[in-house]
A and B are shown apart, each in its own frame.
With several copies, the nearest count.
Chain A
């Protein structure tokens, strides 16, 4: 290499403010106050709405009060349902994470800290709307009352696994619940959701689509495909970027978060874009409702960035204290979505600490009982959980001669 010139170029490699050993530091972020963000009409033009991509829609303040034009004014029953689904999701995650530690499954991924996103959104959508999740939206299935035991069967890859042992744990699928088969390949589901939404519009249907991906995954070309097609054909779709600030070990700067928000991506395509406090159940609900109404009125797609924090490890395969301050999760200024909704319900006199304690115990108990039921069917490593034939099925609608021959070969 030649000697350095005075006007030499330099390569910038983004680095987070803090690493293991440092004190957590979120002083870089500034947030608008809850209630301060106006709510545009659903037919507002994307151009007029540009600033929403740089703000943060907040309804709940940190004491539990709900404020401002985005307050969705849900009845207490609905709020308690939301709280229950989030608590159940957390209890489920907790048990399954431990099940992996106990060797009952090879792998698990929690949604700890992000439960509001999947749960509030599912509740704001119609039952027939089609969800294209990433791997961290188990809350959708739970909020659609999918049997926990079937989720466990899938995780244990046992004889009752609806996916017949073909997928990594947590890669569920349930067509009847409008839950698309989770892919191992990041972001692929997002342009597929756009295509589904286009098909719905093509068919004169009324159902819309929603897709989720992590902030890290927005870097994939599939995200660009999704945004481009959604914009061009004004597809009735909601594209949700769950910005939990990490992609495995990489902080969001590696995905492009140093220079702008992830909601801003939508601005680039002329797509209406909202940025929401992802730990605020009411804000997430309200933004989703807005976007769904927009889509249903043939006004096109919305991008929502849900700003949240990945409370746990990426998966059971990593230890986050290797790449971020160990106590960083606790320092996240926007708190915990369950605690915040609980505080709100208590503040409006519709919930109590006792009821909450009971709810948590019920969830834990429900998960425990269900766990035992699933374990009875089998956990990781039971030989013969799936017929050998099933290995050759569903490659095509019908087995071709190769698969028949290969199947015969194994059987003999």
Chain B
């Protein structure tokens, strides 16, 4: 099996789906000839023609809206928002439209579209190239929110999103695009090729939405994480010597409540890790779920390890 970076795995997912299904097309700012600023759509225009993979005007609202129209027609558009920090102009179309069209039309119309966007800090992007807006989507009924942490998951989950009949928000942790950064700033980041989850099959496969992955078993503490923070949590577990179970949620909505309950019922302790600012972050929802489902198993308060309620992100 070839070893891929997360970027290559995402590119392979798009390649696979463009090849399999003529209803799939992809577009976004600089996504065509140039192949995207992070190269996720590289060579796709060359291979499938400008009709299947093209550049869009700098209008995220229009990118989302036209994708909705295409999905309503019966296609399966995959759009790229250049940075998650720039999704807000599309927010109305995603929240008021994509999320609601099935419901408000009593399933007369549906919107099988996928919104891809790099998110998170760590690339010296300052306060507008580093945001983690996942909670702004998890609150929205009608949307599914998915975040991979490895090349293997990235491809399998992206294909699952493209084939899903509902609109999906697919957030890509750009800090681990090229290697599993684990928060140890003192050591160089090892490349993906050294990581088992960089073994990515060439062809078609899916990872079901809504299923978490126990990436480390442990008895004393459950750590819930997603994206880059999965690697940080694993490193922290290792460094601290605590017998922690680390769960990579993979899908935030609908979250794999069974996996969470099973683990916390066993460990009695839970720590939640995310990059986003704390207040009303997705960690709040996870805290609420854990305490609702596992209250009588909890031996200590659930802890949130999150970004501060500031706007920082070093330039």
| Bound form: Cα–Cα A323–B30 in Å | 10
Let me know if B314 is at the binding interface, CB within 8 A. Answer: yes
Q: Give the number of residues in B that approach A within 8 Å (Cβ atoms).
A: 72
Let me know if B278 is at the binding interface, CB within 8 A. Answer: yes
CB-CB under 8 A from B55, the residues of chain A are 13, 249-250, 254
B20, chain A: closest CB distance, angstroms: 13
> Do A196 and B69 touch across chains, with their CB atoms under 8 A apart?
yes
Checking B62, B108, B257 against A174 with a beta-carbon cut-off of 8 angstroms, the contacting residue is B108
Let me know if A322 is at the binding interface, CB within 8 A. Answer: yes
| Bound form: Cα–Cα A254–B59 in Å | 11
CB-CB under 8 A from B69, the residues of chain A are 191-199, 209
| Bound form: Cα–Cα A320–B120 in Å | 26
Let me know if B187 is at the binding interface, CB within 8 A. Answer: no
Let me know if A184 is at the binding interface, CB within 8 A. Answer: yes
> Do A191 and B65 touch across chains, with their CB atoms under 8 A apart?
yes
- With A163-B106, A188-B96 already in contact, the answer to whether A228 and B59 are too (CB < 8 A) is yes
Let me know if B57 is at the binding interface, CB within 8 A. Answer: yes
**CB-CB contacts of A47-69 with B at 8 A, as 1s and 0s?**
00000000000000000000000
One of A80-88, A175-183, A333-341, A368-376 contacting the partner: A175-183
Let me know if B242 is at the binding interface, CB within 8 A. Answer: no
> Do B58 and A166 touch across chains, with their CB atoms under 8 A apart?
no
Checking A198, A247, A318 against B58 with a beta-carbon cut-off of 8 angstroms, the contacting residue is A247
> Do A397 and B58 touch across chains, with their CB atoms under 8 A apart?
no
- With A173-B105, A199-B73, A202-B75 already in contact, the answer to whether A323 and B58 are too (CB < 8 A) is no
- With A166-B127, A184-B85, A248-B37 already in contact, the answer to whether A395 and B73 are too (CB < 8 A) is no
The winner among A19, A187, A196 for most chain B CB atoms within 10 A is A196
CB-CB under 8 A from B104, the residues of chain A are 163, 166-167, 171, 173, 181, 183
> Do A397 and B110 touch across chains, with their CB atoms under 8 A apart?
yes
> Do B89 and A220 touch across chains, with their CB atoms under 8 A apart?
yes
- With A166-B315, A167-B127, A167-B315 already in contact, the answer to whether A229 and B62 are too (CB < 8 A) is yes
CB-CB under 8 A from B65, the residues of chain A are 188, 190-192, 194-195, 222, 225-226, 229
CB-CB under 8 A from A224, the residues of chain B are 59
Let me know if B166 is at the binding interface, CB within 8 A. Answer: yes
One of B3-11, B154-162, B189-197, B303-311 contacting the partner: B303-311
> Do B309 and A402 touch across chains, with their CB atoms under 8 A apart?
yes
> Do A173 and B59 touch across chains, with their CB atoms under 8 A apart?
no
Let me know if B18 is at the binding interface, CB within 8 A. Answer: no
> Do A219 and B59 touch across chains, with their CB atoms under 8 A apart?
yes
**CB-CB contacts of B84-98 with A at 8 A, as 1s and 0s?**
011011001100110
CB-CB under 8 A from B67, the residues of chain A are 195
Let me know if A377 is at the binding interface, CB within 8 A. Answer: no
Checking B51, B70, B102 against A13 with a beta-carbon cut-off of 8 angstroms, the contacting residue is B51
> Do B314 and A195 touch across chains, with their CB atoms under 8 A apart?
no
Q: For chain A, give the interface size range.
A: 35 or more
| Bound form: Cα–Cα A226–B125 in Å | 27
| Bound form: Cα–Cα A203–B97 in Å | 23
> Do A168 and B129 touch across chains, with their CB atoms under 8 A apart?
yes
> Do B126 and A171 touch across chains, with their CB atoms under 8 A apart?
yes
CB-CB under 8 A from A168, the residues of chain B are 124-129, 315
> Do B97 and A185 touch across chains, with their CB atoms under 8 A apart?
yes
CB-CB under 8 A from B25, the residues of chain A are 202
B87, chain A: closest CB distance, angstroms: 11
The winner among A168, A183, A394 for most chain B CB atoms within 10 A is A394
Let me know if B54 is at the binding interface, CB within 8 A. Answer: yes
| Bound form: Cα–Cα A221–B97 in Å | 15
> Do A199 and B75 touch across chains, with their CB atoms under 8 A apart?
yes
Let me know if A162 is at the binding interface, CB within 8 A. Answer: yes
CB-CB under 8 A from B50, the residues of chain A are 13, 15
CB-CB under 8 A from A396, the residues of chain B are 102, 142, 144, 166
> Do B102 and A184 touch across chains, with their CB atoms under 8 A apart?
no
Let me know if B33 is at the binding interface, CB within 8 A. Answer: yes
| Bound form: Cα–Cα A184–B104 in Å | 10
The residue of chain B having its C-beta at the shortest distance from the C-beta of A231 within the complex is B57
The winner among B30, B69, B104 for most chain A CB atoms within 10 A is B69
- With A106-B315, A181-B109, A403-B308 already in contact, the answer to whether A196 and B51 are too (CB < 8 A) is no
| Bound form: Cα–Cα A247–B108 in Å | 29
Let me know if B165 is at the binding interface, CB within 8 A. Answer: yes
B129, chain A: closest CB distance, angstroms: 7
| Bound form: Cα–Cα A338–B25 in Å | 45
CB-CB under 8 A from B17, the residues of chain A are none
Residues of chain B in range 100-127 having any CB-CB distance to chain A below 8 Å: 101-110, 124-127
> Do B124 and A106 touch across chains, with their CB atoms under 8 A apart?
yes
> Do B103 and A394 touch across chains, with their CB atoms under 8 A apart?
yes
> Do A195 and B66 touch across chains, with their CB atoms under 8 A apart?
yes
The residue of chain B having its C-beta at the shortest distance from the C-beta of A255 within the complex is B57
B61, chain A: closest CB distance, angstroms: 5
CB-CB under 8 A from A194, the residues of chain B are 62, 65-66, 69
Let me know if B34 is at the binding interface, CB within 8 A. Answer: yes
CB-CB under 8 A from B73, the residues of chain A are 130, 195-196, 199-200, 203
Let me know if B68 is at the binding interface, CB within 8 A. Answer: yes
- With A184-B128, A185-B97, A254-B55 already in contact, the answer to whether A221 and B61 are too (CB < 8 A) is yes
- With A169-B315, A181-B104, A219-B57 already in contact, the answer to whether A195 and B308 are too (CB < 8 A) is no
CB-CB under 8 A from B96, the residues of chain A are 183-185, 188
> Do A198 and B66 touch across chains, with their CB atoms under 8 A apart?
yes
Checking A167, A181, A219, A247 against B126 with a beta-carbon cut-off of 8 angstroms, the contacting residue is A167
**CB-CB contacts of B20-58 with A at 8 A, as 1s and 0s?**
001001000110111001000000000000110011111
Interface residues of A (CB under 8 A from B): 1, 11, 13, 15, 19, 106-107, 130, 157, 162-169, 171, 173-175, 180-181, 183-188, 190-200, 202-203, 209, 216-217, 219-222, 224-226, 228-229, 232, 247-250, 254-256, 317-318, 322-323, 380, 391-397, 400-403, 406, 410
What would 8 more interface pairs be, CB under 8 Å, given A186-B58, A194-B62?
A163-B315, A166-B312, A173-B106, A183-B97, A190-B65, A225-B65, A226-B62, A400-B253
Provide 8 A-B residue pairs closer than 8 Å at the C-beta atoms, listed in order of the A residue: A166-B127, A185-B97, A188-B65, A192-B72, A194-B66, A222-B93, A254-B56, A406-B310
In the A-B complex, the 4 residue pairs with the closest CB atoms: A195-B69, A184-B128, A195-B66, A225-B62
